[in-house]
Structure 1
């Protein structure tokens, strides 16, 4: 045959194949059964394509295998027809199925990865083979195995194209068949739910309605077991109320919420539970628990009720694994919601009765509280009603106290043989406070031992009062300080929404009472703060001693803040070191180490204070390590620093450091009052020190003035005496006497020059040795005019000491003796008597005892006592005029010289002036 003839014949064959392929594809699009699809495809592959072996393997998802469908084979044998072929890892069929790509095999009988087909190919005489996948999009529905007796069959491009179109259309057709089958088998939950609604309207009781729901659910889902569990709130246990199961299955068992708390919380969240949802570890734990308790392998449950109004749940279970469909889940969820609606309606009469009783109790309590009369008895009646209504054992009314952050118990009532709770409830953590604020309608804890909420109260309520479940409602939502009403039970139990609403409404009624108590507590606290502030301000304003001011300041601040330890720090000295001027503590364990030295520029706590604009509060955990090394107080929890600022320069000269054993913050009002005390302390310290400085300076100047006045008078007396001597001297001795007089005058001029030059602004002590007899004679000489004027009898007794000398500032000693002697003469009446005794005493002391029979002013005697009050205005008047002024200055100066001056009233009516002078020697 010529080339043109062969080409014409091949073209005719291709045209005929395309026509039959087109007709086949149309047939496949119209077919609705799998068998029809395969029967239409086999002749084309066998006759038109020339494949001796045609075998289809369709995927069975439930068993994860290929189900064989034979189309054609040599010798009319039926290899793997209607048999299941496992997709083993690495096998040829598994590769084609997973990768969804054709695979050419030269010799199927020699291919080890062919599995069973290796032996079958050898048996039926097949060598060359082609495996082609049948898929739609990314879903593979199976494959087709084509074989020929020849080795190494290589399909042409036209064959591959035809097979691709054919297998692609097969995939589309199988997808349509699968979709149609799924649609026919799909359950429609709408119809049974509508039918159930019609039936429920005619049933008289809740039990009959639940039984109808149970039967319809069992019929629709077709599970082995269907149960309705009802929640027993006092025991927090789900108990089987109704059940329906196939023969041989056991009835349901009780399910305690405490054994699977997550199941209970899952149902309260209005979520359906399915054992097939394995993507959640939480749900898997719940499913495992239910499988173990009910001895089933598949289950699904839907809650009856929502949140605190959870009534129970409906459950379907099977003894075999089952993948629950979305329709089944929607139906069960719809049944649960429908049961939630009918259950309250069946108990409407009972609910109305309970609600009326609740409203009566609420109204009775509200009336008593609003009148603020006999509210305790009203609360007690309310507690008894709650004990009977809710089955609780204890009712507490607590109110938040800001200065301690605790919750003192305002009212408590407990069942018989229960002890009263002592002390306030401890402060809550920040997380628990936020939790209570978020639960405006009240917080419910059903199983407290396994719950971490309100953990700080567990030792007081859980351990001591055996509380295992409780309801907590705020008197005003979002404001814990108004108070909390707490109902507790000694058993883990469930609370309904109606229970919580009752406690919540009762808590709202006591808001007025708690608000009034809060106002009274604030007023009492404010009065106490004002009392402490008045005492502190008054004490600081009246005190004139610097050390006592510091001690009173820290004492007043400690009393105001109720702090166990307060210290006054001062770094105003030139060396810049911190000095602890005063401390106040109520506990001996709050004592600092001795010899403590701090630098305000390097100590972290003080540096932070210098940078802080206001009060500085630090917890002990926030303190630097170096600070905690010197603040070693075992009970220290927090510190407060208030800067001691100079009132005129606004420079920080120190600080008041307060240590506290409590962790709650100080009230703003307390801090404001404390700052007022610190400001007054700064003013008082500055004022008193300024006044003392001025008084000291005044004393120095008065002393200097007195001393210079004495020196001037002495100089005037000596100068006058010298002139008189010159005038009285005759001519023969004028030259010699003048020389002696001029010498004495020169000495006096030198003395006066030294005084004016060296003691210009303050008195200076000059040590020099002088014969004692000189001091005595000069004193007698200066006293003679006064004695003569007052006609006094004066006797000096100095025989014991006239040979001795005295070392000291003899000019100042002479002035002191003159002041004492003149004061004694002024006291005496005309013709009185004065005795001056000079005696040597141990330790090189010289005693002058001056006795007179004059009248001593008692005020002058008090003013010269060592412990005289410098702030006494009467004594201040004595010190401002003579003889009090000169005697006080003499007493002060003699003390500086190491001596002593005192006035004594003798028993015989005389007055003795006792002067002790140091520096006596031979």
Structure 2
């Protein structure tokens, strides 16, 4: 195949191919499709002569579909007969491209020989046009040069292009055959006869959709109903019905059942203009870009939608949708328009049917509420049923039941219901003006407010309505003709007109709900008692299950905020004897309060802390009562409400925490709130004291265990050294000479030095450990360590080796470090099998840290390793592998290394060897350890199994 004079880039050719394939899939007349293909091939490839023919199987000939020649195109005849064995028949049978070097001299070319001589065609290729396993046509590409061969890329390009052309021909044939079988007039005649005997609108719509689907045979036939108030179309009838397995929005699932007008405005405007919406043909009624989102939502590629009008108002649309591009016939368009207008004629009768059906539903709603009042003891379920059905009936967004607060004035919400995106209303509502109170008391029906912004009714609540986003509402007194002790409000987010039927329905429902308000008041008292009982149970459970003070504080403050329904709870605590307090826990769910979480609060001078400590119980305050010093770390609106109480246990116990509850100005505290806060505060105080006391005892036990282990190891060392000294003295006593006297003095100096080394132990480490910083070469440390452990190695007949290539200086409390290393190495020897191997590895991690690792062939319980690395069980009474040696000794060594700023861990390598790993500080950079522990490098916690091979 010939190469273009200026070959296009590969990317441009792919883009061009994509465009032509999209055009072919959209369908059209066969001659238009062929012309698109010819224009594309002529643009992309250097072939001056192109010819496309379609195979006529019945007459065994090729029918000309289109051609491109430099001169007169009449050189090609409309029909070319096929002869046995000629090139065209061979290409049809083999279904693969045939390359001809010189078409003018090809014996099997048939009539093409004459054509080639007239057009001076030399190189040519016959390319089959295939669909699946059948060849339905041929394309000839000719050039005036000799011996041109197509590339693999060009063959693939033509294969995809002609395959798509074959599929387009096939779809056109199917469509043509289907159109020949349609009889719209008969379908309309039958449909009219059926509609005469159908009364209900939904049944009529179903019949129309079914017959339309049978006639046009789309993928789906539907009726969309228009909702003018919410400005959207909703799916009312569909054929075929969606299966349960199909879900909207999933691949292969059902398309969306709702069409928003703002997302498909051109579709909506075309229907309002009483015009068909047609998509799928070469020249659709709307631009493809405007309809693309809607078609994607419908999961369709072809569409006819006809508007349904009633009394000059758009009420819906009848649509047929196809999953593939389709050429809609004029008969189909006329049928859709006729049927949609036929549906519009039935709407007046349907409106009467809808009115009757709505009246019946209203009666069922009221009857259901009455039945629930007398049969269901749970009044909240009754209100749930009422709110849901009433909001569905009136298409409202909010349902509120307000109860008058006789103690503090105003109203409080005893029930609320709002949509999933609705805003939460305020808990309390202010008192009404005298005019509004009398209006509600004297009104004999429902108060209608169609625009909150411009209506003067209920002015005291306008801010609440605006906060909710309510623009129009209905208000009804549950006891008409009496004081408005209870009010029902249904609200809408938009300005709207409330019909008389909606007002009558709300009035009826309000009278029924008034009967259950007494039940609600009794139920509320029972609920409050239940909350107190739950608070007691919750406190006991938290005390049993929580072992960390931080978790206890966090859970208690959050639980208290949920029970009291307050936006903020603060816990301020300090240690006994400290002068400064800090915020240990904070629950803050609003921006109205500003609380400094990092504040340092003076215990002696802060007003909140001192007032709480001086008050035996709960002290209610307002934000305006606080002095400026306290408002530096806790501030908010001046009329905000506060409750403060100190966490007390026994009269002789010193409180160490204050609990602060913050609420908005409209909040009113009751005896129930005080009782609940007192109960939780007492439980929290005792639980905190219990955990603090337990933590203190555990810490003291761990310190004493460390001290006991260290002193025991130190005395062991003294004992061994004294034993060696005495043995040497006894040996010298048998050799009284000058040399013996000199050695005798040397031993005395060593024993004196030993006694001197015990002075710090006796002076500074009575009840706690003392840190003594010293330095030593790593080699010396290793030599002393191996010398001390040598008896164990000999006893177990172990093979031991030290791997060290550096002579670093180690700094720290060397006596304790040496004891820790000896403990690890001795444990490794004791658990190793006889004849096993022990390796000591030294590796510098960075400029500050040295890693010393010991590998052995022994066995350790996995629970011991887990508890050593992760900590003891939270249950202090549960058996632990760290209660007795060797786990106890390893845990002590682990704690000592943490105190000295290093790290110690045990793990099991991939080859099941035990790895004991210690991080030691290097002396050059460890002087700062005297003022505080160093932080081990983060990379040091990674596994080192690859460094410990045999």
Range into which the TM-score falls when normalised by the shorter chain = 0.3 to 0.5
Which has the larger Rg? 1
